[in-house]
Structure 1
Amino acid sequence: MVEAGFYRIMSGSSAPRLNSSLAFCEEPLALLERLQPQLRVVGKRGRFREEMNYELYLGSGTGSRLLVVKCFAGRPPHYARWVEVFAVLPEIEVGGRRIPFACSELEALLLDLLAGRLGGGESLFIEYIYDPETSELLKLGAHRPSPG
């Protein structure tokens, strides 16, 4: 369903895609929406035809916006695909309860699903403003640990 520039991911339906090359983002988000009944994903066209912004809301009714996922489908051979996760709330209030998102199973699942759809040379960017330890290490110029 497309309304006013917004696209609602509808789990298990034959909803039209704005850009089928964005399936690498749409499919994991639709799966996450099916696994977490209180999660709602709303997409909005990005600045470029290869780009979409997906807002994730948690809670009943309209819910509270938890984060935004920006997906860029790439422009081969010049630009690789990438995903950016930003405007992340470390915790969210749902039904009068504060539910942590940072370091939660939902956060891990979201990042695993998105990262699993990316290949070599493609990037997953994550905003860590809410994480004081990571923010401080980045300010100090710390490098990520070497694999293995």
Structure 2
Amino acid sequence: MSLEVGQTAPEFESKDQDGNPIKLSDFRGKKVVLYFYPKDNTPGCTAQACNLRDNYESLQKAGYVVLGISSDAEKSHKKFIEKFDLPFPLIADEDKSVHEKYGTWVEKNMYGRKYMGTARTTFIIDEKGVIEEIISKVKTKEHTNQIIK
């Protein structure tokens, strides 16, 4: 599935790092930064999460709610949040159902080896649930600057 700017963001329900149910519709009326990342505690994903953490106040002032999502388990997310003091929830998508809806579970190729993995992608969703922007070339260390222009 290929999503485009102007489309309604697909609804989903999954669990956060504490096992609490979390739905996209819970955030209607707020702008959402929904960022898909490959794996907790890896260099690029840590840089991205820490950039969002370090600029979290600016993101909030601009009216954004930040939600991270990967195929890692709740327990892994909890450790990642605690280790790096992340102020936003991380969603566990172990069955990749949310990834499938957003088109972020893709075939990758590293050193000639093909495998399935997460395409690092950020969706900016407006207050009505419409996709405002899709950032597919994420600069992990400068990600906030790609969101707030």
- So what's the TM-score if we normalise by structure 1? 0.28
Higher Rg of the two aligned structures: 1
- So what's the TM-score if we normalise by structure 2? 0.28
Higher RCO structure (Cα 8 Å, ≥6 apart): 2
